[in-house]
Chain A
Amino acid sequence: MLEHLELFFKSIFIDNMVFAVFLGMCSYLAVSKKVATAVGLGAAVIFVLAVTVPLNWLLDQYLLQPGALSWLGEEYASYDLSFLSFILFIATIATMVQLVEIVVEKFSPSLYNSLGIFLPLIAVNCAILGGSLFMQAREIPSLGLAFNYGLSSGIGWFLAILAIAAIREKIRYSAVPAPRRGLGITFIITGLMGIGFQSFGGMLTGDNEPPTVTEEVVEAVEMEPIKEDTKDPKETEESTEVIAGID
């Protein structure tokens, strides 16, 4: 139970898909102009991640890993199909996305219209494939935890796109210098939010362990210890929530 809780909060806040590993940035930037659309896409991402990560966990466990085929019999135990994982993972994801598209089109045509081109593009949202690949790289031990990981990563992505969409709705009334309008300022805000989210790094690690924020990120950075004086993160968080609340 404890490990479930830990993984849950870790994936939402510490290893946040957007702010810690920069996954799914394309749709994050493109669909965050309005809160309503962002919520729709965010929900779709949660659903697809929560389904595909456990599915891919099963594939990985019983098909792809070295020795995974031993349930077929002794002679298959030496097979290593792990080089096929990319193509199998992406096939699972593409199928699931097609399914979500059909369901959404049937039950919520308005959401379908507002998501437009981006629904099929969930298939090429790096957050989805990233979820499955991180699940494989981190060797998540059980199906339950894999589901948990997919769900919580999705929720983390959802929170991120909700926050940026709320901020972008408000920022329309601000006098942003012309060359920074739109994309430029969005990048900088995201960077600041990312710095804010870094402060969650100390949350689950206790006193002595170093923060694990970017453990798996390619950044071979000397981890800066989380400093006491990072006070803006909480402010950013609160103000984000307040803004979201107003909307």
Chain B
Amino acid sequence: MPLLSKKESKLILDPLADNNPITIQVLGICSALAITAELKASVVMAVSVLFVLGMGNVVISLMRNIIPSKIRIIVQLVVVATLVIVVDQTLKAFAYELSKTLSVFVGLIITNCIIMGRFEAFALGNGPWRSFLDGIGNALGYGVILIIVRFFRELLGSGTLFGIPVLGDPIAKTGLYAFGYENNGFMIIPPAALIVVGILIWIQRAKNPSLVEEA
């Protein structure tokens, strides 16, 4: 018997493409845009969201029958805030420099709409194991976009990947730069992240016309 049934693996795979939390569900945009400058930061952010969303979905799912619906937002906030405090304190203890770079954005995982969105849409109506898979899937979908955006911004903006020059040295004029190629400084400025995400959405919808919005 396989580890995951077909339905369960769908929970993980769907958010990676056709039901992506960022490009389709429009959730969690804020941090997706702000964190995409440095690979390390993006990976740490993606892992933190993975942890918080996976655990949070399980906790909410276990409590789903005893939470009065009127105060569910507060309960959800308390659960997320607790998990985020755990993440934040762990980062401060083991990766202090990184937690400085991420500054307030670790705290902002609390208000990352993906988390509340998945709690509301999935964990409140499903069992813990399915909720866990859904949380993992959506966190991965979020991480994928984070890394794609950063890949293009770093490659086109400074000619490096993971900080390693891949297109040659712009000052010594080696590699591509010998042919007159220039880095596109436009990709480095923060608003370029928005435009890259916009183009990603464009490509995805051009490939899959069923996702196109009504006029």
Contact = CB atoms under 8 A, between A and B. Distances in A.
B107 A218 contact: no
A118 to B, nearest CB: 11
Contacts of A116: none
Contact of B195 (A91, A125, A183, A187): A187
Interface residues of B, number: 58
Interface in B198-215: 198-199, 201-206, 209, 212-215
Interface string B68-82: 000001100110011
B29 interface: yes
Interface residues of A, number: 61
B205 A25 contact: no
Nearest to A172: B215
A183 B214 CA distance: 11
**Residue in B30, B33, B37, B199 with the greatest tally of chain A CB atoms within 10 Å:** B30
Contact of A194 (B41, B74, B78, B190): B190
A85 B78 CA distance: 12
A207 to B, nearest CB: 22
Interface string B173-215: 0000000000001001111111101110111111001001111
A22 B215 contact: no
A101 to B, nearest CB: 11
A243 interface: no
B212 A219 contact: no
A221 interface: yes
B38 A218 contact: yes
A25 B107 CA distance: 16
Contacts of A87: 78, 81-82, 85
A124 B85 contact: no
A197 to B, nearest CB: 8
B56 to A, nearest CB: 13
A204 to B, nearest CB: 19
A221 B28 CA distance: 22
Contacts of A26: 26-30, 113
A220 B198 CA distance: 22
Interface in A11-36: 19-26, 29-30
Contacts of A172: 215
A57 to B, nearest CB: 15
A133 B88 contact: no
B110 interface: yes
Interface of B: 23, 26-31, 33-35, 37-38, 41, 73-74, 77-78, 81-82, 84-85, 88-89, 101-105, 107-108, 110-113, 116, 185, 188-195, 197-199, 201-206, 209, 212-215
Given A24-B30, A120-B73, A129-B110, 16 more contacts: A20-B190, A23-B34, A26-B30, A29-B29, A83-B89, A90-B111, A94-B73, A130-B104, A133-B104, A179-B212, A183-B23, A184-B201, A188-B195, A195-B191, A214-B190, A218-B103
